[in-house]
């Protein structure tokens, strides 16, 4: 497994990594604050117009709390961010965005590596799905997170891409996921009470998740002194190779033998 994802090669790493994660949290807080009105506008169309304000308040507090940590390592930063979001955001977004951070931070016992980042992402998605009882297609944050996490995992584990490139692909995937929330009907969350009227609206939670991932990518690129790579989540990196567990299903997808 690729170890290129480490933001350093040596042992002073937890501190360096911790500082990078704090920087990411600060960047997210700034971004959410910038997008606050936009998020509120999205939420006012389908919910109770509090998403922008709640998230901005939560992330600002999370950035403060992260900055105040004495010896920040990635795990402690993530746990602190999660706890703070849980306490400050409230409603359903508190446990969904914040609680999931706390639980996923358990994957960072050994700092941030390509593997632990994948595990973190998978746990985070799992917790959001379980807590919100939401699946892809319900017009929720899950629609942004699922393609992002799946793309990230495949890019790291199958394609063995450098983590920054994998993250860039994940962000592209999340963007597509956010776009996917627009033409579908909400089945979970406040918007679900609108029934068919929810069709045509972009999910605010999915949008927040995209902003968070975009800032994570930008900060990671900074920390690695790299440019943010161009990425297209839909371009197969290894076109001829199918994931092992999908091999058996291959026939189902094959074109009919006699078309007419």
Please identify which residue in 8, 30, 33, 41 interacts with other proteins, judged by CB under 8 A. 41
Please identify which residue in 69, 87, 221, 224 interacts with other proteins, judged by CB under 8 A. 87
In the complex, minimum distance from the CB of residue 40 to other proteins, in angstroms, rounded to a whole number: 7
Which two tokens mark 25? 């949290």
List the x/- string, 180-199, binding to other proteins by CB under 8 A.
--------xxx-xx------
Please identify which residue in 19, 60, 61, 92 interacts with other proteins, judged by CB under 8 A. 92
Q: Which of 65, 76, 80 is closest to 18 using CA atoms?
A: 76
In the complex, minimum distance from the CB of residue 50 to other proteins, in angstroms, rounded to a whole number: 8
User: For residue 183, what is the DSSP state?
Assistant: T
* Cβ contacts of 179 within 8 Å, gap of 6 or more: 202
Please identify which residue in 2, 7, 44, 116 interacts with other proteins, judged by CB under 8 A. 44
Interior/surface letters 193-203, b for 16+ CB within 10 angstroms, e for the rest? ebeeebeebbb
Our finding on whether 109 is near other proteins (CB under 8 A) is no
Q: Alpha-carbon distance 7 to 153, whole Å?
A: 19
In the complex, minimum distance from the CB of residue 251 to other proteins, in angstroms, rounded to a whole number: 38
Q: Which of 171, 180, 95, 87 is closest to 130 using CA atoms?
A: 95
Q: What's the count of helices (H) and strands (E) in the chain, helices before strands? A: 10, 0
Please identify which residue in 83, 157, 199, 221 interacts with other proteins, judged by CB under 8 A. 83
Our finding on whether 132 is near other proteins (CB under 8 A) is yes
Our finding on whether 54 is near other proteins (CB under 8 A) is no
Stretch binding other proteins (CB under 8 A), from 36-44, 59-67, 165-173, 208-216: 36-44
From residue 46, alpha-carbon distances to 65, 104, 113 in Å are 31, 29, 38
Q: Which is nearer to other proteins, 74 or 132 (CB)?
A: 132
Q: Which is nearer to other proteins, 44 or 158 (CB)?
A: 44
Site for other proteins in 197-256 (CB under 8 A): none
Q: Which of 25, 32, 30, 82 is closest to 211 using CA atoms?
A: 32
From residue 82, alpha-carbon distances to 1, 39, 97, 244 in Å are 28, 20, 7, 35
8 A C-beta contact, residue 59 and residue 28: yes
Please identify which residue in 48, 110, 241, 249 interacts with other proteins, judged by CB under 8 A. 48
Q: Which is nearer to other proteins, 154 or 188 (CB)?
A: 188
Residues that bind other proteins (CB under 8 A): 36-37, 40-41, 43-44, 48-49, 83, 86-92, 94-96, 98-99, 102-103, 131-133, 188-190, 192-193
């Amino acid at each position: 497994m690729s170890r290129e994802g480490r933001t350093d090669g040596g042992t002073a790493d937890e501190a360096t990594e911790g500082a990078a994660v704090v920087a990411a949290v600060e960047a997210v807080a700034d971004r959410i604050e910038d997008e606050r009105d936009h998020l509120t506008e999205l939420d006012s169309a389908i919910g109770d117009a509090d998403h922008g304000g709640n998230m901005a308040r939560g992330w600002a507090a999370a950035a403060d709390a992260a900055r105040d940590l004495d010896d920040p390592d990635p795990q402690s930063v993530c746990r602190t961010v999660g706890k703070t979001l849980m306490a400050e955001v409230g409603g359903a977004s508190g446990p969904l965005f914040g609680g999931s951070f706390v639980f996923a931070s358990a994957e960072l016992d050994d700092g941030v590596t390509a593997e632990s980042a994948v595990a973190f992402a998978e746990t985070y998605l799992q917790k959001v799905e379980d807590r919100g009882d939401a699946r892809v297609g319900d017009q929720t944050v899950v629609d942004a997170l699922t393609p992002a996490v799946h793309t990230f995992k495949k890019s790291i584990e199958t394609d063995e891409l450098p983590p920054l490139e994998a993250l860039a692909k994940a962000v592209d995937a999340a963007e597509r996921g956010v776009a996917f929330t627009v033409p579908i009907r909400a089945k979970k969350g406040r918007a679900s009470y609108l029934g068919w009227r929810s069709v045509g609206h972009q999910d605010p939670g999915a949008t927040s998740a995209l902003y968070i991932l975009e800032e994570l990518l930008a900060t990671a690129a900074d920390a690695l002194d790299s440019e943010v790579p161009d990425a297209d989540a839909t371009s197969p990196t290894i076109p001829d190779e199918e994931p092992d567990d999908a091999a058996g299903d291959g026939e189902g997808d094959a074109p009919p033998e006699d078309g007419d």
